[in-house]
């Protein structure tokens, strides 16, 4: 075993022992919780919490945690975390009961009878599903999906879950190594970003620190030692800096508290990793927080520190006027301090500071059974509504989790609608993300955009402060290409849903064409069949309606001629099977969309002799008739080959490719590209492979309208002196 592996093993053992010792030393008690609650809850409310505690203690009787403590110490600890946030008595009661449905014989109905519907819904939202899933990933996704749905009705569900996760992380050291790593990774990937999205800074920091120590114990220990060593060298200059700022503010009559800020370990680690900075570079930056009484004092204090130290250009952000999506408000500025030290400065009011630390829990409002949502809570509720929208649009729970992770970006851009409304989007968002943020229908029918009144590509990344206008068309539909440059979970989920719906409608149309083609050889069509006699055939095929069967045919999951034989036999008892797989060719128009595809191996274009190949999940794939990739299909499964022809009029551009042999010479590729562009064709990609010292093989992926257009491109390329040969792959 190497020295590094030995140390990491030793450190993990020490971390586990420490966590276990902490749990043994300070188990939660109801008396401690009761004392905390009595400071802000009424006596009747505290008595209701005690009733929940007695019920949970009895329900968990005989159960113990891995730490060796009675199980009730865990719900008590979760309730204590919420009590520190001064949550309402129903949240505390739900925290005490949060595991009784999952881990005891208590039923949801019993809880509702004793504690009421509101508390029971919170408990049920936090409880995990009892279903056995195929994978841990799927189980985690299903559990979170259920919790997200419950959170949409009551924000307290996610707060109880976050407190539950925090206590589990505090006692994670007693878990086996692999489980500890999995839970830590899940916490860093999902729960810490959610706490951040809800503005709960203190809880997020602790989740990140605990997750970091469990996942990378060696790195965490080394960073901790380095920070401790650097802290001593920073104390004197930080004290001098604080005194300087406090004095300047006092002279201007501003009552303020100046605090030094120290980055926590995980944020230091992330900056070193993502920004490729050394530890010394990060620790050279000082952090100061200025807390004042009133909003106008924030701007006055900003003027004072800018007069005291020079600001760094481009490093000022006003989150007071335009709060972050999680409700966070503060002025951010970076200053050149004494001795050239950089000072990252935050200026905020005391109320803003409370919200920054505790998020929506920092100003919880429940009055007369009705929620009064303002500020951060309103934004949190809006975000949770978006989470529910993601859940409803997602194809499955795993896709939902992936979309949610995308939506938990820590950085946002703030853009304006033409009417001046501010929308927050993830960094890297484009106009299509903006369109879907306004409304799903606007996104689905988006065709172009104006950014600051000028036409711009839909894929261009937006910047804060820009005004975006979306141009729509009722006949427009989302393109699969949009998924390559959209970043918001809402947009990506809506695009996928629209494409699925679009694919189904197109597959039904294609399926009808293919089935009628096969039935035509028996001198009949779909409309001539008596569907009252065909219900058994539908059941045999596992469908309920004709459209479902046509969609299966259009997607290539069922062969049209097989379905036709079954339908004809069921419709007519005297039917004698005939050869119906030799119908007329299918007309290809070029605008069929998602269920008629074109072979990338041969790149057919209008004017080529073509055939179709029915491919499961892709529908009809069109190939050039001489394509070598279909030789084996012709031999083994000839019924999968569908005769095809181009319609009299085709629409759109068609992707194809040319194979060139050129002399190796400086500027030869540029000359090829210029020639293709001059021919009115679009270049999608150029790939160059060296054949020998004198020749190169070049593959040009391009888009053309039809075969005559492609022929003109080939003639132009052949006229270039360095081009030895030009051919198509199927030639």
The dihedral through the CA atoms of 560, 561, 563, 564 has a sign that is positive
What sign does the dihedral 492-493-497-500 (CA atoms) show? positive
Q: Are 357 and 176 in contact (CB under 8 A)?
A: no
Tell me which of 88, 103, 571, 701 is the catalytic residue: 103
* Residue 652 near residue 590 (C-beta atoms within 8 A): yes
- Give the separation between CA 440 and CA 435, rounded to whole angstroms: 7
Q: Which of 506, 563, 499, 498 is nearest to 529 (CA)?
A: 563
Beta bridge partners of 289: 259, 346
Rounded-to-integer distance, Cα 698 and Cα 692, Å: 13
102 is catalytic: yes
Instruction: List, in order, residues 6 or more apart from 49 with CB less than 8 Å away.
Output: 33, 34, 37, 41, 79, 89, 92, 93, 96
Question: If you count them, how many residues does the chain have?
Answer: 731
Gyration radius (Cα) of the chain, Å: 33
Question: Of 488, 196, 157, whose CA–CA distance to 326 is shortest?
Answer: 196
Tokens 């006027």, located at residue: 321
Structure tokens at 249: 């503010």
Token code pair at residue 43:
């006596």
Helix (H, G, I), strand (E, B) or coil at 317: strand
Contact assessment for residue 683 and residue 633, using Cβ atoms and an 8 Å cutoff? no
DSSP for 674-685 reads HHHHHTTPEEEE
Catalytic residue among 8, 34, 88, 102: 102
3-state percent breakdown (helix, strand, coil) of the chain, nearest 5:
55, 15, 30
Euclidean distance between CA atoms 204 and 188, whole angstroms: 9
Active site includes 706? Answer: no
Alpha carbons within 13 angstroms on the beta-carbon side of residue 285 total: 16
Output phi, psi for 281, to 5 deg.
-65, -40
Contacts of residue 404, defined as CB under 8 A and 6 or more positions apart, other chains included, come to: 144, 148, 190, 387, 390, 489
Q: DSSP assignment of 424-467, as one string?
A: EEETT-BHHHHHHHH-HHHHHTEEEEEETTEEE-TTSBP-TT-B
**Which tokens hold the place of 660?**
């060139």
Nearest Cα residue to 444 out of 475, 484, 407, 399: 475
For 147, 318, 462, 488, the CA distances from 347, given in Å and listed in that order, are: 36, 10, 27, 30
CB 153 within 8 A of CB 147: no
**How many Cα atoms sit within 13 Å of 395 on the Cβ side?**
10
Q: Supply the residues annotated as catalytic.
A: 102-103
């Amino acid at each position: 075993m190497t020295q590094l592996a030995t140390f990491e093993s030793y450190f993990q053992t020490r971390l586990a022992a420490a966590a276990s010792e902490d749990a043994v030393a300070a188990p939660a008690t109801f008396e401690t919780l009761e004392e905390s609650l009595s400071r802000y809850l009424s006596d009747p409310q505290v008595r209701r919490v005690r009733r929940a505690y007695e019920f949970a203690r009895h329900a968990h009787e005989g159960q113990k945690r891995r730490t060796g403590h009675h199980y009730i110490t865990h719900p008590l600890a979760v309730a204590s975390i919420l009590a520190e946030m001064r949550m309402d008595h129903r949240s505390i009661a739900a925290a005490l009961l949060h595991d009784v449905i999952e881990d005891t014989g208590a039923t949801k109905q019993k809880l509702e009878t004793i504690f009421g519907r509101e508390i029971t819904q919170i408990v049920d939202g936090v409880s995990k599903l009892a279903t056995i899933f195929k994978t841990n990933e799927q189980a985690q996704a299903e559990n979170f999906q259920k919790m997200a749905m419950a959170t949409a009705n009551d924000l307290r569900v996610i707060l109880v879950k976050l407190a539950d996760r925090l206590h589990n992380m505090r006692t994670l050291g007693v878990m086996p190594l692999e489980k500890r790593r999995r839970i830590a990774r899940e916490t860093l990937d999902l729960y810490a970003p959610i706490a951040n999205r809800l503005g709960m800074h203190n809880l997020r920091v602790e989740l990140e620190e605990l997750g970091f120590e469990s996942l990378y114990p060696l790195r965490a220990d080394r960073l901790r030692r380095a920070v401790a060593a650097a802290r001593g060298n920073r104390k004197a200059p930080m004290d001098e800096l604080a005194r300087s700022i406090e004095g300047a503010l006092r002279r201007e009559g501003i009552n303020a508290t100046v605090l030094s800020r120290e980055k926590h370990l995980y944020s230091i680690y992330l900056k070193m990793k993502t920004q490729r900075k050394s530890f010394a570079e990060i620790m050279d930056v000082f952090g100061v927080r200025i807390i004042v009484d009133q909003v106008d004092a924030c701007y006055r204090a900003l003027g004072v520190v800018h007069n005291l130290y020079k600001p760094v250009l481009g490093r000022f952000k006003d989150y007071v006027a335009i709060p972050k999506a999680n409700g966070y408000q503060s002025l951010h500025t970076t200053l050149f301090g004494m001795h050239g030290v950089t000072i990252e400065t935050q200026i905020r009011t005391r109320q803003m500071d409370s919200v920054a630390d505790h998020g929506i829990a920092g100003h919880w409002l429940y009055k007369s059974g009705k929620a009064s949502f303002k500020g951060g809570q309103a934004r949190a509720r809006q975000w949770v509504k978006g989470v529910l929208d993601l859940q409803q649009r997602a194809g499955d729970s795993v896709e939902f989790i992936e979309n949610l992770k995308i939506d938990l970006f820590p950085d946002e851009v703030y853009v304006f609608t033409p009417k001046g409304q501010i929308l927050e989007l993830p960094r890297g968002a484009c106009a299509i993300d903006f369109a879907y943020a306004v409304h799903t229908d606007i996104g689905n029918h988006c065709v172009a955009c104006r950014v600051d009144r000028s036409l711009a590509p839909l894929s261009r990344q937006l910047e804060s402060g820009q005004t975006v206008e979306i141009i729509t068309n009722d006949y427009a539909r989302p393109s699969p290409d949009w998924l390559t440059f959209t970043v918001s979970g809402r947009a990506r989920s809506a695009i996928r849903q629209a494409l699925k719906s679009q694919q189904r409608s197109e597959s039904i149309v294609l399926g009808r064409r293919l089935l009628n083609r096969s039935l035509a050889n028996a001198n009949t069509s779909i409309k001539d069949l008596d569907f009252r006699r065909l219900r058994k055939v539908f059941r045999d095929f596992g469908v309920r309606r004709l459209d479902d069967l046509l969609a299966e045919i259009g997607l290539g999951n069922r062969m049209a001629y097989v379905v036709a034989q079954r339908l004809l036999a069921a419709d007519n008892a005297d039917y004698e099977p005939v050869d119906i797989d030799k119908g007329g060719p299918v007309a290809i128009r070029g605008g069929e969309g998602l269920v008629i595809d074109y072979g990338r191996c041969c790149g057919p274009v209008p004017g080529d002799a073509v055939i179709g190949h029915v491919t499961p999940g892709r529908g009809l794939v069109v190939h050039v008739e001489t394509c070598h990739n279909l030789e084996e299909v012709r031999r083994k499964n000839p019924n999968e080959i569908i005769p095809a022809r181009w319609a009299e009029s085709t629409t759109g551009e068609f992707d194809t490719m040319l194979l060139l042999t050129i002399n190796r010479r400086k500027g030869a590729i540029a000359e090829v590209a210029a020639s293709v562009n001059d021919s009115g064709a679009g270049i999608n990609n150029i790939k160059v492979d060296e054949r020998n010292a004198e020749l190169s093989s070049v593959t040009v992926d391009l888009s053309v309208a039809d075969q005559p257009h492609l022929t003109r491109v080939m003639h132009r390329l052949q006229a270039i002196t360095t081009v030895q040969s030009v051919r198509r792959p199927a030639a």
